[in-house]
Structure 1
Amino acid sequence: MTVYLPERDADALAQALSDRPQGRLVACLCAAWCRTCGEYQAAFAAVAAQYPRDCFVWIDVETHADRLGDLDIENFPTILVQPITGGAPQFYGTLLPHAEVLQRMLGRDVSMQGTAQELPDVLDWLLESRAH
Protein backbone atom coordinates (compact mmCIF):
# COMPACT_ATOMS: atom_id res chain seq x y z
CA MET A 1 0.00 0.00 0.00
CA THR A 2 1.17 3.47 -0.81
CA VAL A 3 2.05 6.25 1.58
CA TYR A 4 0.94 9.47 -0.10
CA LEU A 5 2.76 12.79 -0.03
CA PRO A 6 0.31 15.68 -0.58
CA GLU A 7 2.83 17.77 -2.52
CA ARG A 8 3.54 14.94 -4.96
CA ASP A 9 0.47 12.70 -5.00
CA ALA A 10 -2.51 15.09 -4.86
CA ASP A 11 -4.61 13.30 -7.50
CA ALA A 12 -3.82 9.79 -6.27
CA LEU A 13 -4.43 10.87 -2.68
CA ALA A 14 -7.82 12.36 -3.59
CA GLN A 15 -8.74 9.10 -5.33
CA ALA A 16 -7.56 7.02 -2.37
CA LEU A 17 -9.69 9.07 0.04
CA SER A 18 -12.68 8.68 -2.26
CA ASP A 19 -12.15 4.92 -2.67
CA ARG A 20 -11.95 4.21 1.08
CA PRO A 21 -15.07 5.71 2.70
CA GLN A 22 -15.02 3.10 5.48
CA GLY A 23 -11.31 3.60 6.16
CA ARG A 24 -9.21 5.90 8.26
CA LEU A 25 -6.82 8.68 7.44
CA VAL A 26 -3.50 7.82 9.10
CA ALA A 27 -1.29 10.89 8.81
CA CYS A 28 2.29 11.13 10.01
CA LEU A 29 3.19 14.76 10.72
CA CYS A 30 6.93 15.05 10.40
CA ALA A 31 9.80 17.32 9.40
CA ALA A 32 12.44 16.70 6.74
CA TRP A 33 15.24 17.69 9.12
CA CYS A 34 14.13 15.17 11.77
CA ARG A 35 16.36 12.11 11.71
CA THR A 36 13.82 10.10 13.70
CA CYS A 37 11.15 10.83 11.07
CA GLY A 38 13.50 9.80 8.29
CA GLU A 39 14.15 6.50 10.02
CA TYR A 40 10.43 5.99 10.73
CA GLN A 41 9.28 6.48 7.14
CA ALA A 42 9.99 2.87 6.09
CA ALA A 43 8.24 1.49 9.18
CA PHE A 44 5.22 3.70 8.48
CA ALA A 45 5.10 2.36 4.91
CA ALA A 46 5.31 -1.21 6.20
CA VAL A 47 2.30 -0.63 8.44
CA ALA A 48 0.43 0.96 5.51
CA ALA A 49 0.85 -2.28 3.58
CA GLN A 50 -1.02 -4.11 6.34
CA TYR A 51 -4.03 -1.77 6.34
CA PRO A 52 -5.24 -1.40 2.72
CA ARG A 53 -8.63 0.01 3.81
CA ASP A 54 -6.89 3.02 5.35
CA CYS A 55 -5.20 5.96 3.65
CA PHE A 56 -1.66 6.69 4.90
CA VAL A 57 -0.24 10.18 4.34
CA TRP A 58 3.22 11.57 5.12
CA ILE A 59 2.98 15.31 5.78
CA ASP A 60 6.03 17.53 6.20
CA VAL A 61 4.82 20.23 8.60
CA GLU A 62 7.27 22.78 7.24
CA THR A 63 6.45 22.15 3.58
CA HIS A 64 2.76 22.59 4.38
CA ALA A 65 2.98 25.21 7.12
CA ASP A 66 0.72 27.53 5.10
CA ARG A 67 -2.04 24.87 5.08
CA LEU A 68 -1.61 23.65 8.66
CA GLY A 69 -1.79 27.07 10.29
CA ASP A 70 -0.42 27.53 13.78
CA LEU A 71 0.20 23.86 14.30
CA ASP A 72 2.85 23.43 16.96
CA ILE A 73 4.33 19.94 17.02
CA GLU A 74 6.70 19.40 19.89
CA ASN A 75 7.75 15.80 19.23
CA PHE A 76 8.07 13.63 16.16
CA PRO A 77 6.61 11.49 14.81
CA THR A 78 3.14 12.82 15.56
CA ILE A 79 0.29 10.68 14.26
CA LEU A 80 -3.29 11.63 13.41
CA VAL A 81 -5.86 8.85 12.93
CA GLN A 82 -9.31 9.95 11.82
CA PRO A 83 -12.23 8.36 9.95
CA ILE A 84 -12.12 9.39 6.29
CA THR A 85 -15.78 10.35 6.57
CA GLY A 86 -14.80 12.94 9.15
CA GLY A 87 -15.72 13.31 12.76
CA ALA A 88 -13.65 13.11 15.86
CA PRO A 89 -10.12 11.80 15.44
CA GLN A 90 -9.42 8.44 17.02
CA PHE A 91 -5.89 9.48 17.93
CA TYR A 92 -3.66 12.52 17.74
CA GLY A 93 -0.29 12.55 19.42
CA THR A 94 3.31 11.46 19.47
CA LEU A 95 4.07 7.77 19.10
CA LEU A 96 7.28 5.89 19.66
CA PRO A 97 8.88 5.50 16.22
CA HIS A 98 8.38 1.76 16.00
CA ALA A 99 6.06 0.02 13.55
CA GLU A 100 4.74 -2.27 16.30
CA VAL A 101 3.31 0.62 18.29
CA LEU A 102 1.29 1.92 15.34
CA GLN A 103 0.25 -1.62 14.37
CA ARG A 104 -1.12 -2.34 17.84
CA MET A 105 -2.97 0.94 17.98
CA LEU A 106 -4.58 0.50 14.56
CA GLY A 107 -5.35 -3.16 15.22
CA ARG A 108 -7.15 -2.34 18.44
CA ASP A 109 -9.01 0.55 16.84
CA VAL A 110 -8.09 2.62 19.87
CA SER A 111 -9.75 5.96 20.43
CA MET A 112 -7.90 8.68 22.34
CA GLN A 113 -9.31 12.09 21.69
CA GLY A 114 -7.70 15.45 22.27
CA THR A 115 -9.34 18.82 22.51
CA ALA A 116 -10.66 20.39 19.33
CA GLN A 117 -8.32 23.38 19.45
CA GLU A 118 -5.17 21.27 19.43
CA LEU A 119 -6.16 19.04 16.50
CA PRO A 120 -4.90 19.93 13.03
CA ASP A 121 -7.52 20.16 10.28
CA VAL A 122 -5.67 17.74 7.99
CA LEU A 123 -8.66 15.81 6.65
CA ASP A 124 -10.54 18.92 5.52
CA TRP A 125 -7.38 20.24 3.86
CA LEU A 126 -6.80 16.98 1.98
CA LEU A 127 -10.46 16.72 0.94
CA GLU A 128 -10.44 20.37 -0.14
CA SER A 129 -7.47 19.71 -2.41
CA ARG A 130 -9.56 17.02 -4.11
CA ALA A 131 -12.01 19.69 -5.29
CA HIS A 132 -9.27 21.68 -7.10
Structure 2
Amino acid sequence: MSLHVACLCAAWCRTCESYQQVFEAACAELPQAGLHTRWIDIEDEAELIGELDIETFPTLLIADGEHVRFAGPLTPQPETLKRVLRAHLADATPARVGPEYLELAHRLRKQR
Protein backbone atom coordinates (compact mmCIF):
# COMPACT_ATOMS: atom_id res chain seq x y z
CA MET A 1 0.00 0.00 0.00
CA SER A 2 1.23 3.44 -0.87
CA LEU A 3 1.37 5.98 1.95
CA HIS A 4 1.91 9.71 1.57
CA VAL A 5 3.33 11.94 4.27
CA ALA A 6 3.40 15.63 3.40
CA CYS A 7 4.57 18.52 5.53
CA LEU A 8 3.00 21.83 4.55
CA CYS A 9 5.13 24.86 5.34
CA ALA A 10 6.25 28.23 3.99
CA ALA A 11 9.74 29.44 3.07
CA TRP A 12 9.33 32.62 5.12
CA CYS A 13 8.47 30.68 8.30
CA ARG A 14 11.51 30.41 10.60
CA THR A 15 9.97 27.42 12.40
CA CYS A 16 9.60 25.60 9.09
CA GLU A 17 13.16 26.42 8.11
CA SER A 18 14.55 24.44 11.04
CA TYR A 19 11.76 21.81 10.95
CA GLN A 20 12.53 20.53 7.46
CA GLN A 21 15.57 18.58 8.69
CA VAL A 22 13.49 17.15 11.57
CA PHE A 23 10.78 16.04 9.14
CA GLU A 24 13.23 14.42 6.73
CA ALA A 25 15.14 12.62 9.49
CA ALA A 26 11.95 11.30 11.14
CA CYS A 27 10.60 10.02 7.83
CA ALA A 28 13.94 8.37 7.00
CA GLU A 29 13.65 6.33 10.23
CA LEU A 30 10.34 4.80 9.15
CA PRO A 31 10.60 1.24 7.82
CA GLN A 32 7.47 1.55 5.63
CA ALA A 33 7.76 0.23 2.09
CA GLY A 34 5.93 2.43 -0.37
CA LEU A 35 6.23 5.55 1.80
CA HIS A 36 6.25 8.79 -0.18
CA THR A 37 7.33 11.88 1.72
CA ARG A 38 6.97 15.41 0.50
CA TRP A 39 7.96 18.83 1.82
CA ILE A 40 5.50 21.31 0.33
CA ASP A 41 5.97 25.06 0.34
CA ILE A 42 2.38 26.26 0.24
CA GLU A 43 3.26 29.37 -1.76
CA ASP A 44 5.57 27.73 -4.31
CA GLU A 45 3.08 24.91 -4.84
CA ALA A 46 -0.15 26.86 -4.47
CA GLU A 47 -1.76 24.95 -7.36
CA LEU A 48 -1.18 21.66 -5.54
CA ILE A 49 -2.55 23.07 -2.26
CA GLY A 50 -5.71 24.32 -3.95
CA GLU A 51 -8.32 25.83 -1.62
CA LEU A 52 -6.65 24.53 1.55
CA ASP A 53 -5.96 27.41 3.92
CA ILE A 54 -2.97 26.62 6.14
CA GLU A 55 -2.83 28.93 9.13
CA THR A 56 -0.46 27.04 11.44
CA PHE A 57 2.96 25.67 10.56
CA PRO A 58 3.99 22.94 10.35
CA THR A 59 0.88 21.11 9.16
CA LEU A 60 1.10 17.40 8.41
CA LEU A 61 -0.94 15.22 6.04
CA ILE A 62 -0.83 11.42 6.15
CA ALA A 63 -2.87 9.60 3.50
CA ASP A 64 -3.09 6.12 2.07
CA GLY A 65 -4.50 5.05 -1.28
CA GLU A 66 -8.08 5.71 -0.18
CA HIS A 67 -8.24 7.86 2.94
CA VAL A 68 -6.64 10.69 4.84
CA ARG A 69 -5.37 9.21 8.11
CA PHE A 70 -4.23 12.47 9.72
CA ALA A 71 -4.30 16.14 8.79
CA GLY A 72 -3.49 19.06 11.01
CA PRO A 73 -0.87 21.25 12.65
CA LEU A 74 1.81 19.82 14.93
CA THR A 75 4.02 21.32 17.56
CA PRO A 76 7.48 21.45 15.99
CA GLN A 77 9.19 18.91 18.24
CA PRO A 78 10.84 15.79 16.78
CA GLU A 79 9.19 13.43 19.30
CA THR A 80 5.72 14.77 18.50
CA LEU A 81 6.28 14.16 14.81
CA LYS A 82 7.63 10.64 15.40
CA ARG A 83 4.71 9.74 17.68
CA VAL A 84 2.13 10.99 15.14
CA LEU A 85 3.85 9.20 12.27
CA ARG A 86 4.06 5.88 14.13
CA ALA A 87 0.45 6.07 15.29
CA HIS A 88 -1.14 7.02 11.99
CA LEU A 89 1.00 4.87 9.73
CA ALA A 90 0.02 1.83 11.80
CA ASP A 91 -3.66 2.75 12.03
CA ALA A 92 -5.63 2.90 8.79
CA THR A 93 -8.65 4.57 10.40
CA PRO A 94 -9.77 7.49 8.25
CA ALA A 95 -9.61 10.93 9.83
CA ARG A 96 -12.52 13.33 9.68
CA VAL A 97 -11.19 16.15 7.56
CA GLY A 98 -12.52 18.84 5.30
CA PRO A 99 -12.81 18.39 1.55
CA GLU A 100 -9.71 20.54 0.95
CA TYR A 101 -7.50 17.93 2.67
CA LEU A 102 -9.19 15.14 0.71
CA GLU A 103 -8.52 17.00 -2.53
CA LEU A 104 -4.85 17.54 -1.62
CA ALA A 105 -4.46 13.82 -0.81
CA HIS A 106 -6.04 12.97 -4.17
CA ARG A 107 -3.64 15.31 -6.02
CA LEU A 108 -0.64 13.78 -4.21
CA ARG A 109 -1.73 10.28 -5.20
CA LYS A 110 -2.05 11.33 -8.84
CA GLN A 111 1.50 12.70 -8.87
CA ARG A 112 2.96 9.29 -8.07
What does the per-residue CA deviation read over 1:94-124, in whole Å, with 9 as the maximum and x for residues that have no partner? 0011111111112223557233324152332
| Normalised TM-score (structure 1) | 0.71
Residues 27-106 of structure 1: pairs in structure 2 closer than 5 A: 27-53=6-32, 54-83=35-64, 85=65, 87-106=66-85
Partner residue of 2:107?
125
Give the % identical residues.
40
Report the count of equivalent residues: 107
What does the per-residue CA deviation read over 1:7-57, in whole Å, with 9 as the maximum and x for residues that have no partner? xxxxxxxxxxxxxxx242110001010110011001001101111422210
- Give runs of ≥4 in structure 1 deviating > 6 Å: none
CA distance in 1, matches of 2:46, 2:74: 21
Q: Which amino acid aligns with 2:82?
A: Q
- Stretches of structure 1 lacking an aligned partner (at least 5 in a row): 1-21
* Structure 1 residues 125 and 112: alpha-carbon distance in aligned structure 2, compared to 1, 3 A threshold: closer
- C-alpha RMSD of the superposition: 2.0
- Stretches of structure 2 lacking an aligned partner (at least 5 in a row): none
Select between 117-126 and 40-49 the one with higher mean Cα deviation.
117-126
Select between 30-39 and 61-70 the one with higher mean Cα deviation.
61-70
